[in-house]
Amino acid sequence: MTKRALVTGAGGFIGHHFVKFLLAKGYWVRGVDIKKPEFEDSPANEFTLLDLRTLETCVKASKGVDEVYNLAADMGGIGFITAYHAEIARNNILINSHMLEASRINKVLRYFYSSSACIYPQRLQNQSEVTPLKEEDAYPADPEEGYGWEKLFAEKLCQYYYEDYDLETRVARFHNVYGTLGTFDGGREKVPAALCRKIALAPDGSEIEIWGDGEQTRSFTYIDDCVEGVYRIMQSDCHQPLNLGTERLITINELVDMVARIAGKTLSKRHDTSKPQGVRGRNSDNTLLRNTLNWEPLISLEEGMTHTYKWIEGELRKTNRIPMLSESTR
């Protein structure tokens, strides 16, 4: 019998990709979001515009499905999540608490929650050469303000719904997911997309602005690995949160240089240390992920950033923000 799944946040970057992934697995998929996908229509069997901040709409969305993949979130890049603590925390707590309760009411078989590496204590992330973060490091708690706190609270809610109501909950802590079909402009874009846009728009030999001194470090996860990991975690027997990321640590300056090489440009950097830059360093420890799934993300940063840059460059050409390539230069 065909499995039926709900994907919340199906109008967003990860949710849109995940709808495609489940359809390829043979699922019947309902996608819901407060907005439509930005760059192409949703292929979901059903796509409905719903505000998931109310219990009534969450019950409607989750009715008649076997699995719920809750990827809906009010979020964005570091500039956005540091500027709107109350709005982000309020909206996401409402979405997550109501989706859990609706899933219980509708007797959903399995429930996936997309958490974040932002739940990890800031005291463990104040050096560029950071020690990779293990799942157990989440406590004593000291997550990022707003977004980090609400994610950690929702993780605990998943634990409570499993313990009190036997709802089979699964949780992944995403580490900087990037890739094609993600927003790259407007303030909600993440670092890889923002850098690709800046570099695509910059003339060869010019200068681009970097937030911070560029020596802050991160690890990044390509979207194809993310959706594969989400599915594997959902089908596993692991009820505790799992990191979903890569273990390759890279500075923002190094990432800029990588994208510039992909673009075939020589660029200089202008650092603005007055802009938000988040924690000094963050990396994923994948030991528990490997032991649990016998798998971990495999796509290299070079491969993923090449796909991402070329897609963003193509989108900028479509809107004439950079010139279209002539036939002779394609």
Active site residues: 147
Please list the residues that pair with 113 across neighbouring strands: 70, 171
Length of the chain: 330
HSE (side-chain half, CA atoms, 13 Å) at 292 = 23
CA distance 157 to 70: 13
Are 278 and 220 a contacting pair, CB within 8 Å? no
Q: What whole-number distance in Å separates Cα of residue 299 and Cα of residue 250?
A: 15
Half-sphere exposure of 113 (CA within 13 A, CB side): 33
Place of tokens 């946040």: 9
List Cα–Cα distances, 241 to 76, 134, 208, 238, in angstroms.
22, 10, 38, 8
Tokens of 178: 């990037």
Q: Which two tokens stand for residue 245?
A: 């990321």
Name every residue whose Cβ is closer than 8 Å to that of residue 235 and which is 6 or more positions away in sequence: none
Contact by Cβ (8 Å): 161, 110: no
With beta carbons less than 8 A apart as the criterion, state whether 106 and 65 touch: yes
With contact defined as beta carbons under 8 Å apart, do 43 and 67 qualify? no
Residue 160 to residues 129, 140, 164, Cα–Cα distance (Å)? 35, 19, 6
User: How far apart are alpha carbons 55 and 102 in whole angstroms?
Assistant: 7
Residue 49: beta bridge partners? 33
